Amino acid sequence: MKVLVTGSNGQLGWELERTRPETIDGLFADRNDLDIADYERVLEYTRKHRPDVIVNAAAYTAVDKAEEEPEKAFLVNEAGARNIALAAKEIGARVIQISTDFVFDGKKSTPYTPEDEPNPINVYGKSKLAGEKAVLELLPEQSIVLRTAWLYSSHGHNFVKTMLRLMKEKDEIKVVCDQIGTPTWARGLAEVVWKFCKRGDLSGIYHWTDGGVASWYDFAVAVKEFGSEFNLLPKDGFVLAVGSIDFISLANRPSFGLLDKSKTWLELEIVPNHWRVQLRHLLGKW
Ligand SMILES: NC(=O)c1ccc[n+]([C@@H]2O[C@H](COP(=O)([O-])OP(=O)(O)OC[C@H]3O[C@@H](n4cnc5c(N)ncnc54)[C@H](OP(=O)(O)O)[C@@H]3O)[C@@H](O)[C@H]2O)c1
């Protein structure tokens, strides 16, 4: 089986390249190799390489900046996803479209199921939802939308790296405690994506994150705890819990983003590791 991964220099794309099963022939394209916003290029590339599955890990992920340049967010997250689906349809490939908990408004208090009605509250979430719809409409039986949340990795830009840097620079940092979700190591998500690649019988919407629940404050405290344990950080220093109201940001963010993963557990017969186990594992090898 040949699998094309777009956005291969992003967190997930990079982890996909490092976790590829030997039985799969992987083709990893970064933005320079394949700009998904360019329909002609997508068509030319997929006609030439003829993958069986396309994992669309390319995305515009700058949540605040998207509020100022919505057309750019939609160009990648909606039109780009549509381009991938159109090309896949032509060559008979399946698509795994990666999406986000930000398609929900965060007003629930129990985990969001794949059947829950999305209602994004920022431009990024709206553009990702538009991408989901484009893929599902074009390839109802031949696509999977896999939503995830709070990704981090040793590669790319993410909360863990920002915290490690700030905790070295400052004695005290403030982190919001009223947004709830699940930190998710992109490595674990990559392994799940490979399992979905092998399941041509599945289609529709699925959720995946690591296990457990956290606020950004809890996440930061854990970075501090494990960072100190593995001598990445000084032992002193404080993390202070603050409300979102104390942080001015361009984009609204859902206060609750837990995803119900039971459909994925049942289909793939896997259960996620707790997010603290995953984070400790990564920082132990940093
Ligand atoms: N990060 C999170 O916390 C999070 C949470 C939930 C869901 N997700 C979803 O998970 C997926 C992977 O996210 P990630 O964290 O790996 O994102 P990421 O690190 O920002 O990587 C996205 C990659 O897409 C590339 N890209 C942007 N525009 C492109 C285009 N027009 N054509 C081709 N490539 C393009 C970027 O290239 P440049 O570096 O050159 O811009 C980047 O390498 C995305 O669908 C995202 O929406 C992420």
Greater confidence (84 vs 236) lies with 84
Mean pLDDT of the 80-98 span: 98
Q: Is the pLDDT of residue 175 over 90?
A: yes
Percent of the chain scored above 90 by pLDDT? 97
- Which residues sit with their C-beta closer than 6 Å to ligand 1? 6-7, 9-12, 31, 34-37, 57-61, 76, 80, 98, 100, 128, 148-151, 156
Catalytic residue among 45, 60, 112, 124: 124
User: Rounded CA gap, 284 and 286, in Å?
Assistant: 6
CATH T-level fold of 2-157+183-210+257-273? Rossmann fold (3.40.50)
Residue 204 CB coordination number (10 Å): 13
Indicate the Cα dihedral angle 267, 201, 101, 67, nearest 10°: 170
Mean pLDDT of the 248-277 span: 96
CA 185 from centre of chain? 9
Q: In angstroms, what is the span from residue 202 Cα to ligand 1's centroid? A: 24
pLDDT at 246: 84
Q: Is the pLDDT of residue 147 over 90?
A: yes
2: left (phi over 0), alpha (psi -120 to 50) or beta: beta
Residue 147: enclosing H or E segment and its boundaries?
strand 143-148
pLDDT band at 183 (very low <50, low <70, confident <90, very high): very high
Atom of ligand 1 nearest to the CA of 157: 19
Q: Is the pLDDT of residue 248 over 90?
A: no
Atom of ligand 1 nearest to the CA of 38: 31
pLDDT band at 170 (very low <50, low <70, confident <90, very high): very high
Largest CA distance in the chain: 58
Mean pLDDT of the 269-284 span: 97
Mean pLDDT of the 64-83 span: 98
C-alpha Rg value of the chain to the nearest Å: 19
The span from the first CA to the last CA of the chain, in angstroms, equals 33
pLDDT at 276: 98
pLDDT at 247: 83
pTM here is 0.97
pLDDT band at 73 (very low <50, low <70, confident <90, very high): very high
Would you call 217 a catalytic residue per the annotation? Answer: no
Provide the residue ranges of all domains of the chain, joining segments of one domain with +. Answer: 2-157+183-210+257-273
Is 180:173 a contact under the CB 8 Å cutoff?
no
Beta bridge partners of 174: 240
Beta bridge partners of 240: 174
Q: In angstroms, what is the span from residue 168 Cα to ligand 1's centroid? A: 27
Closest among 103, 121, 144 to 3, alpha carbons compared: 144
Query: Which residue's CA is the nearest one to ligand 1's atom 32?
Result: 35
Is 244:178 a contact under the CB 8 Å cutoff?
yes
